[in-house]
Structure 1
Amino acid sequence: MVSANRDVLVAIAGVFYLLPGLIGTLALPKPDMASGMTEQQMAQAFTKFYASAAPVLLLISLPMLIGYLTMLVVMLDRDRPTVGAAIGRSFRLLPGYLASQILTSLALSGLWVVVVGALSLAMPPVAAGFVGLLAMIYPLVRIMLIGPEMVVARHSNPIRAIMGSLAATRREVSGILLYFGPAMTLFMVIYGMVTILVTVILANAGNGDAPQLIGEAVVGVLFAVGYTYFTAMIASTYQQLGMSTRSDASLFE
């Protein structure tokens, strides 16, 4: 999928993934960190940082969501739309997609609180929180095809998209995890190694905005490439599962 649409995906990734990340790097305030800070002070510093950076982070996330939906349109729409048409489709789908994310986030947050509360009765709170996060992997996998469902079905109804994702991933969670798990692990290893390498190079390059911007650009390019392949994996998963589900459902419509 990536090879077949390489030129288009490079342009989309550059505009909607790389560029917003670089703008955010320049616009976001830096956490007020200092050597010798206690864990509580570090937690307070990060809390203050995210509170002040929330508007910028929200603005950055919107173009990334549009880029995600645009890539799905490019890879899944059989009419082979132009980039402009794909972007237009993405803007029309964005309100419904945001609504689906809000609904699923509220549901998952409530479920996580219930799970952690129940586990806290039998284990320490920290362990309960960690196990609760692991338990959230299953419902997260079940709703990961919401975007492709909206793109292929050509609707922005969040409830229908959620139900379509649930139908497509039924009894397929283990296979999806075997598909995504190794790829995401590999990306995390490469991302960590590149980040460490860039940090070492910047430490020897001296102070200044130029080295810092170059380092952020390198990491940003890696993120854009990784997210492009992640989107392609989402699209290919829907081709394998969601398309057949829709074909079966059409027999009863």
Structure 2
Amino acid sequence: MEPLNKFDSSRAWTQAAQAVSANREVVLALAGVFFLLPQLVFAIFFPPPETAASMNQTQAMEAVKAYYMSIVPIMVPMALFQALGSISLLCLLDSDRRPTVGEAIRAGVKGVVPYLLAQILSGMGIAAVALVVAGVLGAAAGMVGGVIGLTVVLLFAVVVGVRLSVTAPVIAVEHQFNPVAALVRSWKLTRGNTARLLGFYALLVIAMLVLLIFANVLTMPVALLAPVEVARFVAAAVESLLASIMALYFVAVLAQVHRQLAGPSAQVQADLFG
């Protein structure tokens, strides 16, 4: 079966960058509020624990486990807040309707719960498949089967993630607030473009990792020369800023991926042919 529209990664990136540039003031303001501020607060006030050299593996794992358990009450509202920011930015970057900032945030408020429900449903589906595959292969072939099962599950999760990657734009731009229908719509839109999308997303992730490594190299002199608290603040600020910019561009990319695969909106088509 042929894809609905053939995905062009170069055009998606170019148009995403142009969309961010054209709306620079408002998108940077929203990214600062919804991405930079919470990440900076989290990085400064909830840093990961430092494991002492004297700790054994069990003690180190217990320390990490205790840390993650302690930040759950912070992570949940932070995830909600950033999801709201993502949906709002997707609405704002909808060039067909050109909503105001207020309209985009209101649309984000309406879309955040369906988006989170869609994420939970897809996660539960992947987890269910993972349990079945890993369990069957593990029971049939022991440790080797478990490793094979884990590899299969990871590949399955990646493919499903790619197929469902435009769920957020479907909710934000198409106003599809039924989470199941939004997942189905994303699955249909990405049909036939899985390999292209996977390669594109992989390149974006690699580029982001390179930028983070580069940022760590740049802050290394501060870490060596400045007091510990100053070095920690600078590192947190730089990493949070880069992570926020990356999140902004990734949202813009998703908007353009959806726009390519979905084609012009019904309103635009009505304006063209009306």
Q: TM-score, normalised by structure 2?
A: 0.82
Who is 2:55 aligned against? 37
Moved over 4 A (4+): 244-247
* One of 62, 65, 68 as aligned partner of 1:50: 68
Q: Which amino acid aligns with 1:228?
A: L
Is the counterpart of residue 229 in structure 1 residue 229 in structure 2?
Answer: no
- Aligned equivalents of 1:126, 1:175: Cα separation in 2: 27
Q: Measure how far apart 1:113 and its partner are.
A: 2.0
* One of 81, 99, 107 as aligned partner of 1:89: 107
- Judging changes above 3 Å, is the alpha-carbon distance between structure 1 residues 221 and 27 closer, same or farther for their aligned structure 2 residues? same
- Aligned equivalents of 1:229, 1:131: Cα separation in 2: 30
Q: Any unmatched runs of 5+ in structure 1?
A: 248-253
Is the counterpart of residue 144 in structure 1 residue 165 in structure 2?
Answer: yes
Is the counterpart of residue 108 in structure 1 residue 126 in structure 2?
Answer: yes
* One of 19, 22, 25 as aligned partner of 1:4: 22
Aligned positions of 1:1-253 closer than 5 A: 1-28=19-46, 30-31=48-49, 33-76=51-94, 78-120=96-138, 121-122=140-141, 123=144, 125-126=146-147, 128-208=149-229, 210-243=230-263
Q: CA-to-partner distance for each residue in 1:203-227, whole Å, 9 max, x for gaps?
A: 321222x332222111111001111
Q: Measure how far apart 1:116 and its partner are.
A: 2.5
- Aligned equivalents of 2:247, 2:103: Cα separation in 1: 22
Q: Measure how far apart 1:82 and its partner are.
A: 1.0
- Aligned equivalents of 1:30, 1:162: Cα separation in 2: 34
- Judging changes above 3 Å, is the alpha-carbon distance between structure 1 residues 162 and 40 closer, same or farther for their aligned structure 2 residues? same
What's the RMSD between the two structures over aligned residues?
2.2
Q: Measure how far apart 1:69 and its partner are.
A: 0.6
Q: Measure how far apart 1:115 and its partner are.
A: 2.8
Q: TM-score, normalised by structure 1?
A: 0.88
Q: Measure how far apart 1:232 and its partner are.
A: 1.1
- Aligned equivalents of 2:176, 2:156: Cα separation in 1: 30
Q: Which amino acid aligns with 1:188?
A: L
